[in-house]
Amino acid sequence: MGAGRVTLPDTERSVLRVLGGETVWPPPAWVMRQAGRYLPEYLATRAQAGSFKALCYDPALATEVTLQPIRRFGFDAAILFSDILVVPDALGADFELDAGEGPRLTPTATGADLARLAPELPLDRLAPVLDAVGRIRAALPSETTLLGFCGAPWTVAAYMVAGRGTPDQGPALAAARSDPSFMAALVDLLVQSSVEYLAAQLEAGADAVQIFESHGGVLPEDLVEPLSLAPIARIVAGVRERRPGAPVIVFPRGRADRLRDYAATGASCLGIDQGTNLAAARVAMPSGLASQGNLDPAALVLGGDALDRAVDAVLAAAKGHPHIFNLGHGITKETPPAHVARMLARVRDAA
């Protein structure tokens, strides 16, 4: 807890109660990428900042966009507005977001490239982000949980090796096969950086953190353990060494085949994508462990009866379990904000 910050007991925050293994009904709800391009007020603030990257590093404006979806919808959790790629940026890989083309970084594809990065995370470069965390916590209603986050090492490495997003993470998969010691060293740097970064977010006022393994689904069977499970387990253990008992959500998108193994990383909660049957996932998971997600972002674009049916299906599968209502992946920019309000009203009406 930071000095001078008055907070009510954590038990006031329904998302934290679920992360502690409690079944709360109706389930608390938030949405991945809830501060984003489907909101006109987000687009206006991004324009004011000048660029996506400038927005990420401006504590006042990052605070503003984090709070926008809370004001509009009253979600039960806010997630820090930032990006998983600020970690490679701080390490020296120069992140930019190219409008329409996605993220760009200086590629880190060989041991020589890696030697040009900082040997450990220069946390001072992320000071504006940590400043935003403190401002957001101070401005949020006391019952709203604040989530920090980072990308899992493999997912971040996939962007670093290619220097951009790719359809299949091909460059990083090729590097993992052709130069396994380079890939191990890159993952190591990201494990240590992520521990420092997440612990600092918790220190600055985040109540819990989420680790996004968005591209774990492409890993061949023999690489899941060394490149995804083991690094995530090291991050969870390292964060808890510094912040005992810290709640950690792990989102292993596309890896429903390994939920028990992701549970064994020490996660407090597993994110479930929309390609997974939530009832089957609940059977596979340890029974007291929280789950999160599963609503198809496409249903939220459609709205109407299709949305109602999709919401009801998630609620039916989640009932009786510790679950946080969310999407199976980020909200898309085509989503009408009114559909988000409709979804939340239906969740809060759940019998």
Site of interaction with ligand CP3 (CB under 6 A): 32-37, 46, 52, 79, 81-85, 97, 102-103, 149, 151, 165, 212, 214, 330
* Residue with the shortest CB distance to ligand CP3: 214
* Cβ nearer to ligand CP3, comparing 32 with 310: 32
Q: How far is CA 206 from CA 21, 31, 196, 219, 311, in A?
A: 19, 17, 14, 30, 28
| Residue 33: active-site member | yes
| Residue 13: active-site member | no
Catalytic residue from among 58, 76, 83, 296:
83
* Cβ nearer to ligand CP3, comparing 39 with 175: 39
Cis status, amide bond into 26, omega within 30 of 0:
yes
* Cβ nearer to ligand CP3, comparing 25 with 52: 52
- Residue 34 CA to residue 73 CA, distance in Å, equals 10
| Residue 46: active-site member | yes
Three-state DSSP class for residue 218: helix
Minimum CB separation from ligand CP3 for residue 84, in Å? 4
In b/e form, how buried is each residue of 64-84, taking b as 16+ CB within 10 angstroms? bbbbbbbeebebbbbbbbbbb
Minimum CB separation from ligand CP3 for residue 218, in Å? 13
- Residue 229 CA to residue 266 CA, distance in Å, equals 10
Minimum CB separation from ligand CP3 for residue 33, in Å? 4
* Cβ nearer to ligand CP3, comparing 216 with 321: 216
| Residue 159: active-site member | yes
Catalytic residue from among 38, 42, 159, 197:
159
Rounded to the nearest angstrom, the gap between the alpha carbon of residue 189 and the centroid of all alpha carbons in its chain is: 19
* Cβ nearer to ligand CP3, comparing 33 with 137: 33
Strand residues in 122-247 grouped as ranges (E): 145-151, 208-213
Structure tokens given for 273: 């994508």
Query: Is there a contact between 36 and 340 (Cβ–Cβ < 8 Å)?
Result: no
Minimum CB separation from ligand CP3 for residue 37, in Å? 5
- Residues with a catalytic annotation lie at 33, 37, 46, 83, 159
